[in-house]
Chain A
Amino acid sequence: MPSDSSSTPSPALPVALWAGTLVLVLVAFFSWPAERFAAVQVEGESPAQSAAIELESIGALEFGPEGVLFVSDPQGAAVYALEVPAGPGPRLSESVPDLDAKIGSLLGVDGREIYVQDMAVDPRGGLVYISVQRGDGDTALPVLLTVDSQGTIRTVDLATFVAQRLDLPNAPRAEDRLYEWEAQTFTVTDLEYVDGELLIAGLSNEEFASVLRRAPYPFDDTVVTTGLEIFHGAHGEWETFAPIFSFVPYTLDGKEHLLAAYLCTPLVTFPLDEVRSKSRLRGKTIAELGWGNLATDILPYRYDDEDYVLIVNNTRGTIKMKAKDIAAAAAGQGLTEQADTRAGVDYHTVPVGPVLQLSDLDSERVLLLGRSLDNGSLYLSPRPKRRL
């Protein structure tokens, strides 16, 4: 412990030196860029730098600009951005059955020990990326895999990549860092890249709040948060602040929005410019998809000159909405009446069986990662959009 005298300035220090220091401090203060002061929501030091990839776990995947693949590490509280080579050739055309057993065989475990976390399709060449956890408990390992157009599965050797790393500080606000936030887990549930920015949604084990984290890409040292609140399924008087589980950038009336699914399961829209300019924002609830449910994936797609949105639910099937119905609901007041299991934008369930992940494959097809009703195994299957 330093003694008190060590931090007391010597009385012999010339007054002129103090005055000079004061001038320098004032000059530095006023010449500092104004935006430094404006960034009140900055979560904190998050030094992004080129780093070797050391995953503690693997979760959500998302393609960014020109071959940049974002890979989340929920346990390591980090997101990596790596530039992946363009996969050549045609896109997957045949189904790949028994995907979990094949992956397990490659990685040396039973197929039941393969836990698929996310899937992303490289928009350039159609190479399919799948994040899996191999095994469970103390021996669990994160693995990134690719599936090419022939259905051949390969592991991605992450040691050969140098990536940008973004650390996700746990404390939602800078001043909260006085407290012990290190023990908090922030589980990334979805990533989306929009116009130079990576948006990150997740769940915290200690704070039940809806905080969307935003980080400019290429990563610098900032993570900014926006509290996104909702008027939950019309309980008239009350609002709540459940977390967003999955979301997607979505254009409404020519303006960029976020279409977000909250826990159990309101579907909500937010104007993106307000997400960026405000620290707290209330969204508009346009549908209720039902209790006891999670929307694990949202996929807007276009087919035959009409726009649609597919939503993968973990307990209530995969549903399809017409974009024009979403637009009509978003133009209105949102849900304000008491809602039961289902309310708002009309939708129907598509005949695809249990789906874990969904991606756009090309203009004619989506790619399903589903579970077989015959034997419970996982499969990968391109499906024509006309049959959805």
Chain B
Amino acid sequence: MQLGAKGRLAGASDSRGRSTAAQTVVNGALVLLTLLWLPSCRPTEVAPTLHLETEVGAAEFGRFEAYLGTEVASRLRSENLSDETWPRYFAVYPATSAHADRPPMLGDYRLLADRVQFRPAFPLEPGTEYRARWSSDQAEVESTWLIPRPATEPTRLDAIYPSSSRWPANLLRIYLQFSASMSRQGAVESVEIVRQDGTVVAAPFVAPETSLWNPASDRLTLLLDPGRTKRGVGPNLSEGPVLTAGERYEIVVHSSWEDGRGRPLDSTVRREFEVVGPDRESPDPDTWTVDFPQTPIDPLVIVSASPLDRVSFEHRIAVLDRHGERVAGLVSIEGLETRWIFHPRVPWLPGQDYEVRVSKALEDPSGNSLWRRFEEPLVYPESTEPADQSLGRFSVRSQG
């Protein structure tokens, strides 16, 4: 359905009872007669025509109008109708809301010389059909309009983290990175972990409906049920862990999942992975290789022997300038989440001291942080322990 500037959405009119075309003519004649011969009587009402007026290119900001003619409009003016009482004549509903006990949509009514306008309090929802109804003693008419969804490219699943095809048996977190914003609902039905024999792992994720989405709604964090990965805990005993070392699985993200505009994903994505033994140790920054830049345009590269949590790795390492302020730049994560590559936004200043620090909150894919392991023997970490540690200082020489 095309919408032009100030476009009118074509309505499917369903005039009932006294408002057939033939009767409209008859009614019109009656109005004429009434006006000519019986000026003191109340004008007979003609069934109004209903329209949906929309703003430029944005169907969701529309207003519904009933063209009444000046006579009827003038009579209604004397009734002093309010936003609460107008719906007895003119009401708008989502088309699925057919029951008599459904309240009409909230909004503002405005009576003009020849028509009444209804502006909904909430934007119209793309993909939803609306029904406007005029109802009075003498006329009843209704129309429906479907608000089109905007035409956009289908959204893709761009990446599944961990990127490695070998996942630890006690994996805590999976990230799904999409090309555009997604519906925050539907993860429960749309993501499956399937064994080689085709059976589906039951309830692998905890609280997927809790919306661990990033602010842009294009990255979802899924937590594998931690009760099933911990040793000796109820779920682990009765159901077994979600993933078993030595087995092969497939993670399946179904295309039926809707994106932020209510459209399905472009395709179903399947990725195979093999499960290796559990990782129960904290990452150890002392074993990392730090490749400090030598010239103002060199990147800073940190390499970990084992994969780290994709998002944690990206955010929990900082380069500080000599004032202790974080240096702005672009981080990229490569090598199956083992390489952290940092390009400063402006070249390194020759002769100036920089320091690389890592937060103790940095985690590996199994939820072991620098601070503590996911499962810890019964001791408290010292609360005075520093929250981060240095990975070294550097300065670069002038280029050439």
Given the interface contacts A178-B388, A206-B221, A240-B230, does A137 sit within 8 Å of B94 by beta carbon? no
Contact of B102 among A102, A137, A143 (CB under 8 A): A102
A173 close to chain B: CB less than 8 A:
yes
Chain A residues with CB under 8 A of B198: none
The CA of A206 and the CA of B161, in the complex, are separated in Å by 13
Q: Is the interface of A mostly helix, strand, loop or mixed?
A: loop
Chain A residues with CB under 8 A of B123: 108, 139, 141
Question: Which of B10-18, B267-275, B300-308, B375-383 interfaces with chain A?
Answer: B375-383
- A242's nearest neighbour on chain B, judged by CB, is B226
User: Is the pair B105, A181 in contact by a Cβ cutoff of 8 Å?
Assistant: no
Chain A residues with CB under 8 A of B183: 136-137
User: Which residues of A in the span 201-220 have a Cβ within 8 Å of any Cβ on B?
Assistant: 203, 205-208
A347 close to chain B: CB less than 8 A:
no
User: Is the pair A208, B122 in contact by a Cβ cutoff of 8 Å?
Assistant: no
Chain B residues with CB under 8 A of A290: 234-235
B31 close to chain A: CB less than 8 A:
no
- B126's nearest neighbour on chain A, judged by CB, is A139
A350 close to chain B: CB less than 8 A:
no
User: Is the pair B376, A238 in contact by a Cβ cutoff of 8 Å?
Assistant: yes
User: Is the pair B375, A178 in contact by a Cβ cutoff of 8 Å?
Assistant: no
User: Is the pair B203, A107 in contact by a Cβ cutoff of 8 Å?
Assistant: no
Question: Which of A31-39, A86-94, A226-234 interfaces with chain B?
Answer: A226-234
How many A-B residue pairs lie within 8 Å, measured between CB atoms? 245
User: Is the pair A264, B206 in contact by a Cβ cutoff of 8 Å?
Assistant: yes
- A181's nearest neighbour on chain B, judged by CB, is B315
Given the interface contacts A108-B128, A203-B212, A205-B213, does A178 sit within 8 Å of B376 by beta carbon? no
A135 close to chain B: CB less than 8 A:
yes
User: Is the pair A178, B94 in contact by a Cβ cutoff of 8 Å?
Assistant: no
Interface residues on B, range: 35 or more
User: Is the pair B130, A108 in contact by a Cβ cutoff of 8 Å?
Assistant: yes
Interface centre among B121, B172, B361, B375 (most CB of A within 10 A): B361
- B207's nearest neighbour on chain A, judged by CB, is A294
Chain B residues with CB under 8 A of A109: 94, 122, 125, 128
B261 close to chain A: CB less than 8 A:
yes
Nearest CB in chain A: distance from B155 CB, A: 10
Interface centre among B104, B185, B234 (most CB of A within 10 A): B234
Chain A residues with CB under 8 A of B96: 101, 104, 110-111
Nearest CB in chain A: distance from B68 CB, A: 23
Mask for B94-115, Cβ within 8 A of A = 1, else 0?
1011010111111000000000
User: Is the pair A240, B375 in contact by a Cβ cutoff of 8 Å?
Assistant: yes
B120 close to chain A: CB less than 8 A:
yes
Nearest CB in chain A: distance from B46 CB, A: 28
User: Which residues of A in the span 324-363 have a Cβ within 8 Å of any Cβ on B?
Assistant: 338-343
Interfacial residues, chain A to chain B (CB-CB below 8 A): 1, 74-75, 98, 101-102, 104-111, 113, 115, 134-141, 143, 153, 155, 172-173, 175-176, 178-181, 183-185, 187, 189, 203, 205-208, 231-242, 245, 263-265, 279-280, 282, 288, 290-292, 294, 338-343
For the A-B complex with A245-B207, A341-B235 known, give 6 more contacts whose Cβ atoms are closer than 8 Å. A136-B184, A178-B388, A183-B215, A185-B215, A238-B376, A290-B235
